[in-house]
Amino acid sequence: MKVDANKVRKAGILLQEIEDLVNSAGKAHEAIDPKIRFPRGFINKASWYRVNFPCQSAQIGDNVAYTLQFLDVLRWLLNRTDLGITAKEMVIKYGIVSVVSVMEGMVHDALSASGVKNPPKKLRSAVKRLETQGMISHSLSVSLQNARKKREKIHLHLYEISGPERYAVEDWNLASATLGELASELSAHSRK
């Protein structure tokens, strides 16, 4: 979407002036007062997420909703700023991590709600269990496993530091689409 380039430029200049002032005072990592007002309207309400990504457990439902709000903040950074390669890659990386964390919560919730005693703690096994119980399709199971594999690359001590080809916006979008499919299939199953 096209927006007024002058307004965007002015906002960037003002933010940079504030940052330069804070840095010149030697307070680069300290909080400022007053705070910059985060734009309203981009972050969905937790109640909206609870309706669209329903969970039987209120605690898991809250955690899912709050993590999805965190994802909105990351998405705002990605869509509204010109982050450089490394910072951008890390935003994408933790976007994927958070999406898969939501998947984990919803999978655990679904298994618990269906009466499975001691649902598997590992996502790989839990997804297989959902599929064998007929709660999700095989194609969704494959997509969930692919998202899980992408998320497993977060462990800093096990993998090389990521480069641009490791975490792409398309990976985040694919994980998000898979999350939407998961919510849809679990909702359809719970109505049976």
- What is the per-residue pLDDT for 141? 98
Report how far apart, in Å, the C-alpha atoms of 8 and of each of 3, 77, 78 are. Answer: 8, 14, 15
Assess contact for 81 and 50: CB atoms under 8 A: no
Task: Supply the CATH number for residue 181's domain.
Answer: 1.20.120
pLDDT of residue 109: 97
The mean pLDDT of 64-80, rounded to a whole number, is: 97
Domain count along the chain: 2
Q: Which amino acid is at 73?
A: V
Contacts of 136 (CB under 8 A, 6+ apart): 127, 130, 144, 182, 185, 186, 189
Cα distance between residue 49 and residue 92, in whole Å:
21
Are residues 43 and 19 part of one domain?
Answer: no
The pLDDT assigned to 83 comes to 93
138 with 164, same domain: the answer is yes
10 and 47 inside one domain: no
Which structural domain, as residue segments, surrounds residue 153? 39-190
pLDDT of residue 158: 61
> Which band of pLDDT confidence, cut at 50, 70 and 90, is reported for residue 164?
very low
Question: 29 and 47, same structural domain?
Answer: no
Contact between 109 and 55 under an 8 Å Cβ cutoff? The reply is yes
